Amino acid sequence: MQIVRPVNPSRNDSVGWWWAALGMLCFSFTLPATRLVVPEFGSYTVGFGRAVVAGLLALSVLLIRREQVPERRHWLGLAIVAVGTVFGFSIFTSLALRTVPSSHGAVVVGLLPAATAVAAILFARERPRPVFWAVCALGVLAVLGFAVVQGAGRLSAGDGYLCLAVVFAAAGYAEGGRLARELDGWRVVSWALVGALPFTLLAALLSPLPTHMPSAPAWWAFGYVSIFSMYLGFFAWYRGLALGGVARAGQVQLLQPVLTVLWSVWLLGERLSAPTVVAALLVVACAFLSRLTR
């Protein structure tokens, strides 16, 4: 007689949260790296070029593993992932970081967990409990407070681009987390990148070339956003969303503004003040409160 071990939802939730945290750690370097590379490569070259590099890497992995093309019922979902994460987020953040600091971008992108929770209702059909929404609202207030501390209260074209990036990313995250329950996270991001490759390759070829040879740090930053931000980070991220739930596991991204600001200070020399530290601690507290909601 075969013994079937019962699934422990609490354990899946915990494992999913840690996988999502690993993906978030990869993503936390994205804005500083993009801010570093955009002035030398250009916004469109970075936005489309990194998708080309990630798409070629994904194509190689799929060919080596001899993966079968996903069923037709998955194609629409993969297209949503591609539009949200391959095109929308990468292009709009590249445009925004021409004019705003990385730490400023981190504040606005800090609204992404709340947007992802809303998208989870539309795409993943999740129904979080009211207590979760209360904690989520606290997280939004903490991020808005963080924005005031960082001087992000004034709206600019950069803020508009960042808000668009949040909307597109939230849709891509929610749909990708749903698909990852059937295809695994690495397959979701791989097929989304490969499906978008003809368009990103054409757009990259039509993008203006840099006027001078980029520096070594810019090349390293471009490599990071291409390999980790666009590809490997999603392996962990989508696995975490699939196991822990899109809405709940996605709240770990409340920590991302804090880490991104720290990396911005370290890598770019941006200023960190004492009030920023206090606001950052509020963001961390909200992240762990959302982790405790069931």
For the stretch 104-139, pLDDT in tens is 788 778 788 778 877 877 765 667 677 777 777 777
Q: Which one is predicted more confidently, 80 or 246?
A: 80
Instruction: Return the closest-CA partner of residue 148 out of 97, 99, 110.
Output: 110
Average pLDDT over the chain, rounded to an integer: 83
Instruction: Please give the average per-residue pLDDT across 77-93, as a whole number.
Output: 93
| Residue 4 amino acid letter | V
Angle between helical axes of 256-263 and 274-292 (0-180°, round to 10): 150
Q: What is the DSSP letter of 11?
A: H
Angle between helical axes of 256-263 and 9-27 (0-180°, round to 10): 30
How many angstroms separate the CA atoms of 101 and 31, rounded?
9
Lowest mean pLDDT among 19-23, 208-212, 263-267: 208-212
pLDDT, position 2: 38
pLDDT, position 228: 95
**Lookup: tokens for 23:** 């993906």
Q: Are 249 and 240 in contact (CB under 8 A)?
A: yes
Lowest mean pLDDT among 83-97, 110-124, 155-169, 275-289: 275-289
Q: Report the alpha-carbon angle 152-153-155, nearest 5.
A: 90
Residue 183 has pLDDT above 60, yes or no: yes
State pTM to two decimals: 0.84
Question: CA distances (Å), 239 to each of 102, 155, 231, in order?
Answer: 27, 35, 13
Instruction: Please give the average per-residue pLDDT across 130-151, as a whole number.
Output: 71
Percentage, residues of the chain above pLDDT 90: 43
Q: Which one is predicted more confidently, 99 or 94?
A: 94
Residue 50 has pLDDT above 90, yes or no: yes
